[in-house]
Amino acid sequence: MAFNILLVDDSVTVRSVISKALHLAGVDINLLYQAANGQEALEILEAEWIDIVLCDISMPIMDGETLVARMGENGMIKTIPVVIVSSAGSEPRIQRLRDMGVRDYIQKPFTPERIREVVDNVMGVSRHA
């Protein structure tokens, strides 16, 4: 099954690296959307079908924590799984985000294998050799 994936990060470098990592890892992608902050992400989430969100924490305009909270208030998008990809993932913050419904956390720097492991796990994909 191919997924519609939304990347949310204010760094175009990170969006490019995650995009490459997803392809290198063999994640089956249908459409790859990109947003530079939480506000842009909300607009995409309300307009497009998104299967999973990969989101940074520290961003201008609207940060990742606020985006997760806003998604939780919107019945149309509250069930879309969110994975945090960040270097600012202290234990208290990750726990707070998990309590808010975030499904998993990927610490930067990451490997393509780590991205695939988390996406597969969250999306219920099983790979057999």
User: Within 107-126, which residues bind another protein (CB under 8 A)?
Assistant: 108-109
Beta strand pairing status for 52-55 and 3-8?
parallel
Size of the site for another protein (CB under 8 A): 21
Peptide bond into 109 cis (omega under 30): yes
Nearest distance, CB of residue 53 and another protein, angstroms: 19
Compare residues 6 and 14 and give the one whose CB is closer to another protein: 14
Say whether residue 10 binds another protein (CB under 8 A).
yes
Residue 74 vs 107, nearer CB to another protein: 107
HEC string of 72-128 equals HCCCCCCCCCEEEEECCCCHHHHHHHHHCCCCEEEECCCCHHHHHHHHHHHHCCCCC
Q: Is 90 in the site for another protein (CB under 8 A)?
A: yes
- List phi, psi (to 5°) of 107: -90, 135
We find the least distance from the C-beta atom of residue 26 to another protein, in angstroms, to be 16
User: Which residue ranges make up the site for another protein (CB under 8 A)?
Assistant: 10-14, 16-17, 20, 57-58, 60, 86-93, 108-109
